[in-house]
Structure 1
């Protein structure tokens, strides 16, 4: 294996962001975007998507954001809709 990013992964960027904020609720946007391998703008958009869909909430703590994942919702794709977010997070230790 090389240290290069693979051309594809099993999770979407939305999945990567959700798993990462579940593990680290206070992660900085710059760190989040770097670790997922996307721009800060894309990370901000994904966080907004997840928040609008009810998968997480954001709380301002001083000048930083803290994200709380809501694991009781189902995954969005019809083929996985019987699987809960908590099941996904359990797999990845979130």
Structure 2
């Protein structure tokens, strides 16, 4: 029996969730930094921010040449299977996980590899 190749092209955390977590951690994060952290183009990151803004998950206010983002309190998951839980519960978990990775000095697992999940 041949070994089964692992499925690729999916991740547990979508780029939408990653970007929203970055905004929660740093409300003045640059679009360029969001894109770099998610291994996306700036245009793809901008489309995700627009999706999140249109869906009511964040607000954006221009401060001079920079944007200031805010995660909208009380917003819930979009899929009915997740119930009426607030999205910030997941975002705080992601922010905490990233903080622990940075504190340990270890690169995140899979770093250096391009994620195939560009639209999630």
SS at match of 2:16: helix
Aligned counterpart, 1:71: 73
Higher relative contact order (CA 8 A, sep 6+): 2
Q: CA deviation at 1:89?
A: 2.0
Q: Superposition pairs for residues 14-93 of structure 1, below 5 Å?
A: 14-93=16-95
Mind listing any 5+ residue stretches in structure 1 that lack a counterpart? 1-5
What TM-score does the superposition give when structure 2 sets the normalisation length? 0.68
Segments of 4+ moved more than 4 angstroms: none
Q: CA deviation at 1:83?
A: 1.6
Q: Aligned-pair RMSD on alpha carbons?
A: 1.7
Q: CA deviation at 1:7?
A: 5.7
Mind listing any 5+ residue stretches in structure 2 that lack a counterpart? 1-7, 97-120
Q: CA deviation at 1:88?
A: 1.0
Matched residue pairs, number?
89
Q: CA deviation at 1:80?
A: 1.2
Aligned counterpart, 2:11: 9
Task: Report if the CA contact (8 A) 2:74-2:86 is conserved.
Answer: yes
What TM-score does the superposition give when structure 1 sets the normalisation length? 0.85
